[in-house]
Amino acid sequence: MFKDKLVSYSGVQPSGNLTIGNYLGAIKNFSAYSDKYMCFYCVVDEHAITVRQVPADLRRRTYETLALYIACGLDPEKNTLYVQSHVHEHAELAWILNCFTGFGELSRMTQFKDKSAKHADNVNAGLFTYPTLMASDILLYQTDVVPIGVDQKQHVELTRNIAERFNQLYPDTFTMPEPIIAKSGKKIMSLADPTKKMSKSDENTNAVVYILDDKDTVIRKFKRAVTDSDTCVRFADGKDGINNLMTIYSCFTGKEFDEIEREFEGKGYGDFKLAVGETCADALAPVRAKFDELLKDKAYLEEVMKNGAETASYVARRTLSKVQKKLGFVQIGR
């Protein structure tokens, strides 16, 4: 096999709006992954069209998402960064996997239920079979681990069920993937309602800090963060707002909670919020600068996409042709 390292695979929707929750909980840690794993990061434009897209926006966001991943520290020399529609094997294997997936299994997916309620005027078959395309993404690369948010866990479990079913009928086809879910300790909550996860699609933009927010915006959002009527900066039950700010501050500075408590002893929430805001803005500034620079260089981004698609195709082609052979499709020495 092609593998001398374990394979890590992750897909990301082409939306430029990643939050500091995505950054601290996932992306920031990804750059270290490439030491241990052969890493694939795919911008999933085919998944994106399960809901209506404005073509110019989809195109722009595809570039932006790739640029943001690179700006966050993913080195295209050490990771395979590519766009899903550039590797036709994804759609082909998805069709095959559709024939090994139950209608009932797909009906039970909570994301399908949520999205079909939200887009009631367009409950299309692609929305329904979204998870088999995701299974195809993962299984094409003989993936060992899938770093995801907890909301995608059900889809990885379905992927495992499909792989197991297929392997039982046709032994030794797919590697069994394991989900890796960022520890809850790193879970970043909404600034407006700290009992809720920070979500990029929150309608209240004050609740969410985006990686690409400018310094003033970041500071303003932290100033408005909901806290409590106590005045002491300490980590405790019932202080969800402060706990969240302490978590964010700790993630950016590497300081432990007791250290942070000492640092802000005798100071009010105002001082603390300002410190968190400034620290966060300063940490994000180089990411934003790099992002702006990359976006000016479309030719470079296209080069990355092209190289990524080449590496990905090489692996994907091997898995797909193995599957086709096992199924009894005639091979004519393509």
Listed residue (30, 31, 60) closest to 45, CA to CA = 60
Q: Which residue, 177 or 277, has its beta carbon nearer to ligand TRP? A: 177
- Minimum distance between the CB of residue 268 and ligand TRP, rounded to whole angstroms? 39
CB 309, CB 131: distance < 8 Å: no
| Residue 51 backbone dihedrals phi, psi, to 5 degrees | -120, 155
Q: At 278, is the secondary structure helix, strand, or coil? A: helix
> Is 78 a known active-site residue?
no
User: Closest approach of Cβ 164 to ligand TRP, in Å?
Assistant: 17
Tokens 């600034």, residue located? 191
Name the one range near ligand TRP by CB under 6 A: 9-17, 99-107, 117-125, 312-320: 9-17
Using Cβ positions, the residue closest to ligand TRP within the complex turns out to be 11
* Residues in CB range of 208: below 8 A, 6 or more apart: 19, 190, 191, 198, 199, 200, 202, 221
Q: Count the Cβ atoms, other than its own, within 10 Å of residue 258.
A: 10
* 200 in active site: yes
Minimum distance, C-beta of residue 216 to ligand TRP, in the bound complex (Å): 30
190 closest CA partner among 169, 167, 166, 208:
208
Binding residues for ligand TRP, rule CB under 6 A, total: 12
Whether residue 223 lies in the annotated active site? no
The answer to whether the CB of 250 falls within 8 A of the CB of 279 is: no
DSSP conformational letter for 196: S
List the one residue from 9, 252, 269, 291 that touches ligand TRP (CB under 6 A): 9
Q: Does 148 bind ligand TRP (CB under 6 A)?
A: yes
Binding-residue pattern over the window 44 to 63 for ligand TRP, x denoting contact by CB under 6 A:
x--x----------------
Which of the residues 186, 187, 200, 326 is marked catalytic?
200
User: What's the distance, CA 182 to chain centroid?
Assistant: 11
Comparing CB distances to ligand TRP, the nearer of 15 and 307 is 15
The active-site residue out of 186, 187, 197, 322 is 197
Two structure tokens written together for 78: 């050490």
Rounded to whole angstroms, how far apart are CA atoms 241 and 204? Answer: 16
Among 146, 162, 275, 315, binds ligand TRP (CB under 6 A): 146
Say if CB 227 and CB 221 are below 8 A apart: no
Among candidate residues 28, 36, 78, 115, the one labeled active-site is 115
Q: What's the chain's length in residues?
A: 334
16 lies in the site for ligand TRP, by CB under 6 A: no
Contacts of ligand TRP in 123-142 (CB under 6 A):
134, 137-138
> What's the min distance (Å) between Cβ of 44 and ligand TRP?
4
Q: Does 11 bind ligand TRP (CB under 6 A)?
A: yes
Residues that bind ligand TRP (CB under 6 A): 9-11, 13, 44, 47, 134, 137-138, 146, 148, 152
Q: Name the residues annotated as catalytic.
A: 115, 197, 200
